[in-house]
Structure 1
Amino acid sequence: MEMLEPMLSKLAEEDVHLEGVWVSEPKLDGERIIALRKGDQIDLWTRRHVEVSYKFPEIISSLKKNIKGDNWILDGELTVPGGFRKLLKRNVEDRFKISLLAKKLPATLNLFDILRFQGEDLTSKALVQRKKILLKVVQEGGHIKIVPFKTVNSKKIKDHFVESIHRGYEGLILKNASSEYESGKRSSHWLKIKRSETIDVNVIGATKSTGSIAFGALILEKDGQYFGKVGTGFSDLDRKEILEFLEKNRGVTDIPLPPDLDILLTTRQLPAEIKANEIVKGKPRAPVWVRFRWA
């Protein structure tokens, strides 16, 4: 089944002023998933158009049991205990390992929107209407949850944000209660307030280490250009796990790299996030590693 492009949010500050009625949701540390069902077939699509249903049999089983109807499209966030770093461990191809990980590191699909039900397109309906339908269609249980939400006004945004952080979430998502679902668009009707701003990049390799650590730094790409490297933000154990991940994703990059880079290996483009104080001459200043994004 062909996936439907997810609606995306724009970054906002804690003091953003909102007009009208808005809904707040916690920002989860997982991977965005569009789930589709048509008859007996259920597909799980990532933002990068990768179909991953076979990697999460526990999710497929719960969707069949806990969602009414046999023709729907749902939007949600896939999580595992321990956050996104642990979720990366589920990115395996071996069927035996998949079955073991489904029990050892079970995933949850946290649903927050419904885009189609029994063939009816719901994207033109207001968010609050879609939420009401979602609550009727979804029975929480097994590996399926509904993302908690509440109405919010400008005066309470900071309180909601602080509460979300204290509960261990990444931040806050704010959605205009009357907004339609704008597939494939980064819309001002959906806003995100993050604990700290991150920059989306691609890892395309690693440099050699001058000591006993696994590698020196990760080589970065953004918008088709070399974007510098990041060598801080991970422990020695992180470096070993990351190097194993890089080894499994070796590839040849067509991004022109500086000749003085002491390259250990190159990889296919691996989506990731970094933090940086600022961008200077097209490169991040004092970058710090955050995490890989699900590819």
Structure 2
Amino acid sequence: MVAVAESNAPDHSNAAAYGLSIATEPMEAKLAKALPSGEGWQYEPKWDGFRCIAFKNGTSVDLRAKSGKPLGRYFPEMVALLAGLPATDFVIDGELVIEVTGKLSFDALQMRLHPAESRIRKLSRETPSRLIVFDMLMDTDGTPLLDRDLAYRRERLEVFCDGIKADPDHFIISPTTRNLRVAETWLSGSGGDTDGVVCKRIDEPYRSGERAMTKVKRLRTADCVVGGFRYEKDSKLVGSLLLGLYNDDGQLDHVGFTSAIADIEKPELTARLEALRDAPGFTGKAPRGPSRWTTDRSSDWEPLRPELVVEVKFDQITGRRFRHGTKLLRWRPDKRPSQCDFSQIGL
């Protein structure tokens, strides 16, 4: 398991230093069941990586995760690549990915979040990262582009990418289409390097920190805060994680659970969870006792500080809760807990 404790408060102090007058949080997307149709939509593959905003000022480079936390320490080869580009000032939005044996590997990304610099340096040589860029937030002449529409920003991004002539093994521009049928083909073929399609309005500005885009996945997934856990029956090992999403009032509501935890991971995970025990766990709707479907679990649960984020697969939502248990897909150390709210699933 990979998990990085982090504050709910974003760190975007880098924005002013790189010529932007506002805090630049990534524009995010809300989940939809189908691709939107009609004029004015741009479709892009949804890449399976770490969201990354890259700032460059002179030879100084800063990489920021979706949470606002710095990423440069973990991807020194990307810092070096951007520092060496002929363009000296820009801000771009993209996705950091790592390819292993011809496929993008999210596990390889998570392995980079390691405390030992020697380990990071070794991995950066063995499995170098690639930045797939899809938006430009500040032009090379220092002009902020946040208020310009996507069509203009994309044009400037294409000019930028043509001019720098970066190594395509490590830096590429994401493909786009305005053809719904092509986007449907991308969606039907997702599940490997991509996990869906992102849909953007070409006439819209960059709405920093807002869920102003639409994403459609073959699998319905959500990023949830782990607000508590239950032990297995007659055991001191974790049996299930209790999941939460933030409501409109900023309170963490319990929305379901996942018990899809491998036995080999339970001892280490239990120790990590026990170190985070702290009431109340859920500040909104809290878990209840066992239902007729969970009679083999204790009604007691352990509250946690809201620091861990997991991505889970779910089938249906009823009454702002997952109707059934979810499947744990992966841990999301790159996401800030406060970003896990109901709006990501369209509620």
- Normalized against structure 2, the TM-score is what? 0.71
Percent identity of equivalent pairs: 26
Alignment correspondent of 1:123: 146
Paired residue total: 287
Q: 1:250 to 1:153 in 2, by over 3 A?
A: same
Structure 1 unmatched runs, 5+: none
- Write out aligned runs for 1:103-118 (5 A): 103-117=125-139, 118=141
Alignment correspondent of 1:162: 188
Q: How far, CA to CA, are the matches of 1:9 and 1:171 in structure 2?
A: 12
Q: Alignment partner for residue 89 of structure 2, among 71, 86, 91?
A: 71
Deviation by residue 1:108-165 (Cα, 9 ceiling, x = unmatched): 22111111023111223332332232233233317632243233234544233224x2
Q: 1:242 to 1:131 in 2, by over 3 A?
A: farther
Q: 1:254 to 1:40 in 2, by over 3 A?
A: farther
Displacement, 1:80? 2.0
- One-letter code aligned to 2:330: R
Alignment correspondent of 1:150: 176
Which range moves more in the overlay, 198-207 or 104-113? 198-207
Deviation by residue 1:51-93 (Cα, 9 ceiling, x = unmatched): 1211110110111123x42221110111223432332221122
Q: Alignment partner for residue 197 of structure 1, among 195, 207, 220?
A: 220
Q: How far, CA to CA, are the matches of 1:249 and 1:46 in structure 2?
A: 25
Q: How far, CA to CA, are the matches of 1:266 and 1:199 in structure 2?
A: 19
- Match status 1:285 vs 2:323: yes
Which range moves more in the overlay, 204-213 or 115-124? 204-213
Deviation by residue 1:228-281 (Cα, 9 ceiling, x = unmatched): 42102x5445x3597289469745353256583355x94552122222233345
Alignment correspondent of 2:296: none
Q: How far, CA to CA, are the matches of 1:91 and 1:49 in structure 2?
A: 15
- Match status 1:88 vs 2:107: no
Report the secondary structure of 1:128's partner residue: helix
Q: 1:289 to 1:71 in 2, by over 3 A?
A: same
Deviation by residue 1:175-211 (Cα, 9 ceiling, x = unmatched): 2333322222222xx3221112212211245433459
- Normalized against structure 1, the TM-score is what? 0.82
Verify the 8 A CA contact 2:47 2:195 in the aligned structure 1: yes
Q: How far, CA to CA, are the matches of 1:251 and 1:143 in structure 2?
A: 44
Q: Alignment partner for residue 313 of structure 2, among 275, 286, 291?
A: 275
Q: Alignment partner for residue 58 of structure 2, among 23, 39, 43?
A: 39
Q: How far, CA to CA, are the matches of 2:183 and 2:274 in structure 1?
A: 43
Report the secondary structure of 1:54's partner residue: helix
- One-letter code aligned to 2:177: T
Verify the 8 A CA contact 1:205 1:246 in the aligned structure 2: no
Q: CA RMSD in A?
A: 3.1
Q: How far, CA to CA, are the matches of 2:272 and 2:166 in structure 1?
A: 37
Verify the 8 A CA contact 1:28 1:170 in the aligned structure 2: yes
Q: Alignment partner for residue 156 of structure 2, among 97, 114, 133?
A: 133
Report the secondary structure of 1:158's partner residue: helix
* Structure 1 consecutive aligned stretches of length 4 or more whose deviation exceeds 6 Å: 211-214
- Match status 1:254 vs 2:280: yes
Q: 1:95 to 1:155 in 2, by over 3 A?
A: closer
Alignment correspondent of 2:8: none
